A and B are shown apart, each in its own frame.
Chain A
Amino acid sequence: MKKLFSLIKASMSEGMNLFKINKNKKSKKNKAALPIILTIILMFAMYSYSEGLMGLLAPMNLGYIVLTIFVMAISMLTLIEGIYKSGNLLFNCKDDNLLLSLPIKRSTVLFIRVFKFYIFELIYNSVFLLPCIINYAVHIRPTASYYIVSIFGLLLLPVVPILISCIIGTFITSVASRFKGKNIVQIVLSVAIILVVLYFSYNSNGLVDGIVQHAESINNTITKYYYPAGTYIELITNFNLLKFIAYIAIHIAVFALTVLLIGKVYFGINSNAKAVQKKKKAVKDYKVKTNSPTKSLIKKEFNRFINSPVFVTNAGFGLVLYIIGCILVAVKFDSFAASIVQTGITIEQITNYIPVLAFAFLCFTAFMTSITSSMISLEGKSFNILKSLPQKPAKIVNAKVLAAICIMLPCILIGDLILFIRFKLDIISMILILIASVLLPLISETIGILVNLKYPRMDAQNDTEVVKQSMSSSISVFIGMAMIAITFGALVGAIVAGLSNIIIMLVFIGIFAIIYGLLLLLLNKICDKCFDNINV
């Protein structure tokens, strides 16, 4: 047991660098301020969402349904994210050689990997779920048992989604490791499985239509089919000690059983995943190609991107969804419009503002995609190569932004083209949307690189720790969400004010151009210093 605690402690001290800012007290305070503020804003937003529903449902004694919906939504999010995280978190870690050479059971190594994954998800889940739990307590004034059950609920609710995602991640890695192009196979399988999960979620959206009117039936469906949520809700509304003990025991047993089951195949898959497919024949005729420094830097970034399945899935998924979204809107516009008409908005109003709606969709995609927020951290120890090169840090950093734009732009342009053809937009709207298609990703990626320069994570054990569990990626996502919220609010205001499409887009493009200019100034100001301060 002492060994296990030592291992967990060592593993966590590496993995929890997300929460270690800097040894320097002043710098620690400065750097900690932004993530703390963003976390508080996010928790406040979650509290506000739950308050909106709780205000309607609590007077009818149905407040617990808000908890059900929150638990289900967060579990789905954990599952979807876990599917593409788990393969990288469980397999092919940098400390494999060290841990496997120690006199410990191999299943212990797997346990530590899954446990670390669980701790991260617990922290993220808490940010989303805790405000709702507090909100319920404020409205309902429950007994002491609610608090005890909720503390355990908070601890246990991430267990099932992460175990399911570990099983799926193991399956994907197992299949992918049999192929030569294992990264491509892993990316395709991850995206396919996530799309299947999303398809079923989309089809069950009918459940959420008229949430208040159908609240009880939604609750009954979720609690009937999903044991962790169902029992948690049952325990807070009608506490039973035996059921509570069983609830804890079942989660622990499922955790142990899953680790045991994956453990049976884990080491075989891990060895295959590590194996590098070597060429059968040695090839002497290599080609030497000369490129400009910028082109070469962009090529290097692109190579890094496509060889990291978690990076591609994380960044590329939003872009794929943009294309799918554009196709869906193009094909099913009439049925979408019909459902919106029921809310009182006329079909003319919808068609009149199609360019602005396209602009808003573009905004959402651009601000939710931040490739550069991981690009510095993914350099890891090879960052010293960049530091020793005879190139200015600004050129290296700008090449990262350009590489990200090269990755995003084709997908965005395909989506734009579909919308242009389907809705026969006027030439000025098309030009403005095309300008926004370049400008918005530039803003998003410049923010990403700025955040990553300020919050680098150079000692990650795998790409997932950088792409999904680093301070930089979290802050970038929060900033993106804030940008979307502000932009959407302002767009709605502009539509309500009756401004024309062209005026709205011109004003927004103007504002975004100024923001981009300011971001560039900031990047030029801090780039060299931040670059020098990163020591690996």
Chain B
Amino acid sequence: MIEIKNVTKKYGDIPAIKNITFDVNDGEIFAFIGHNGAGKTTLIKSIVGIHKFDEGDILINGKSIKDDPIACKKEMAFVPDNPELYEQMKAIDFIDFICDMYEVPQDIREKNIKKYAKMFEIEEKLNDTIDSFSHGMKQKIALISALAHDPKVLIMDEPFVGLDPKAVFDVKEVMNEMVKEGKIIFFSTHILDVAEKLCSRVGIIKKGELVKVGSMEEIKGDESLEKVFLELEG
């Protein structure tokens, strides 16, 4: 379970996110939507321990990211919006590096790397250096690295940007598979159709404030998510 409690993060004197509170339960796919600059990435980076926040707390399965960041990070995986990977490394070495950091046993990483590399049709490229990859291929490597250590919580910032349609489909399949196992998927997106079809709950952020959070039915009622979002943002 992710518990976000009264989180405020400021850049200088300007608050990027203000007093945000909500929970994401086990077995949920949670979409976080908002305009550019609304504070989505700031919150995501706070959850995964990249940013320190000024007020409040974030608990991952009961552990505070402030007090015990290592234990929290071990439960999570993060896929950034713009995968800045180690360009001079071979793709397989990068995935291995991430697995080493999570201390993933050899048999589990072999199984997972094989499974996801095959799924994303990138097996033949794993021996190439990352600097030869397109944005989408880098995104796939970031996804494989994230999934290779069987995270309980998967946090993704705009995960579908740059992916080909087949990969988008596969990522959605992986997400569904993970939530069936009781894991949590938390992601930000601009693609409202995907959010509407895929997610059980959604949060809408506007100028750093959470303006609406709830189940998809609660949020949109009889209307489309797009219409609700535009009305709220307008």
Q: Which A residues contact B (CB, under 8 angstroms)? A: 23-24, 276, 278-279, 282-284, 286-293, 295-297, 299-300, 303-304, 307, 380-382, 384-385, 387-392, 532, 535
Taking the closest CB of chain A, its distance from the CB of B125, in whole angstroms, is 7
* Complex Cα–Cα for A532 and B50 (A): 7
B113 within 8 Å of A (CB atoms): yes
Residue of B49, B98, B101 with most chain A CB atoms under a 10 A cut-off: B101
User: Which residue of chain A is the closest to B52 with respect to CB atoms?
Assistant: A532
Q: Is the CB of B70 within 8 A of A381?
A: no
B100 touches A293 (CB 8 A): yes
Once bound together, how far apart are the Cα atoms of A535 and B50, in whole Å?
Answer: 8
Interface residues on B, range: 35 or more
Which of A283, A382, A387 contacts B49, CB < 8 Å? A387
By beta carbon, the residue of chain A nearest B142 is A385
Residues of B within 8 A of A385 (CB): 84-86, 98
A381 to B73, CA, bound (A): 19
Cα–Cα distance between A300 and B96 once the two chains are bound (Å): 11
Q: Which B49-92 residues have C-beta < 8 A from chain A?
A: 49-52, 70-71, 73-74, 78, 80, 82, 84-86, 88-89, 92
How many A-B contacts at CB < 8 Å in the complex?
95
Q: A276-B132, A278-B128, A279-B127 are in contact. Are A290 and B84 (CB under 8 A)?
A: no
Contact B73 A388 (CB under 8 A): yes
Task: Please give me the residue from chain B that is nearest to A281 by CB atom.
Answer: B124
Chain B interface residues toward A at CB < 8 A: 12, 45, 48-52, 70-71, 73-74, 78, 80, 82, 84-86, 88-89, 92-93, 96-106, 109-110, 113, 123-129, 131-132
Chain B residues whose C-beta falls within 8 Å of the C-beta of A296 in the assembled complex: 96-97, 100-101
A276: chain B residues within 8 A (beta carbon): 129, 131-132
B55 CB to nearest A CB, Å: 16
**Contact assessment for A290 and B105 in the assembled complex, using a CB-CB cutoff below 8 Å:** yes
Chain A residue contacts of B82, Cβ below 8 A: 381
In contact, A286 and B88 (Cβ under 8 angstroms): no
Q: Which residue of chain A has its CB nearest to the CB of B117?
A: A286
Across the interface, do A290 and B109 meet the contact criterion of CB distance under 8 Å?
yes
- Known A-B contacts A276-B129, A288-B109; the reply to A304 vs B12 at CB < 8 A is no
Q: Are A289 and B96 in contact (CB under 8 A)?
A: yes
B residues less than 8 Å from A278 (CB atoms)? 128, 132
Chain A residues with Cβ below 8 Å from B92 are 286-288
Which among B74, B88, B100, B104 is the interface contact of A307 at CB below 8 angstroms?
A: B88
- 9 CB contacts below 8 A, A to B, read A286-B126, A287-B92, A288-B109, A288-B110, A296-B101, A303-B88, A382-B84, A388-B49, A388-B50
- Whether the Cβ atoms of B51 and A535 lie closer than 8 Å is yes
Closest chain-A Cβ to B88's Cβ sits at a distance in Å of: 4
Query: Complex formed: what's the CA distance from A349 to B109 in Å?
Result: 63
Residues of B within 8 A of A300 (CB): 86, 89, 97
Docked complex Cα distance between A259 and B70 (Å): 52
Chain A positions within 8 Å of B109 at CB level: 288, 290
A102 to chain B, nearest CB (A): 21
Check if B51 sits within 8 Å of A390, measured CB to CB: no
| New A-B contacts (14) at CB < 8 Å, excluding given A279-B128, A296-B100, A300-B86 | A283-B127, A288-B109, A290-B96, A293-B101, A296-B97, A297-B101, A300-B89, A300-B97, A303-B88, A381-B84, A385-B86, A385-B98, A390-B70, A390-B73
Least Cβ distance of A535 to chain B in Å? 7
A387 to B85, CA, bound (A): 13
- Please name all residues of chain A whose beta carbon is closer than 8 Å to the beta carbon of B70 when the two chains form the complex: 390-392
Query: Contact check: which of A288, A303, A389 meets B101 at CB < 8 Å?
Result: A389
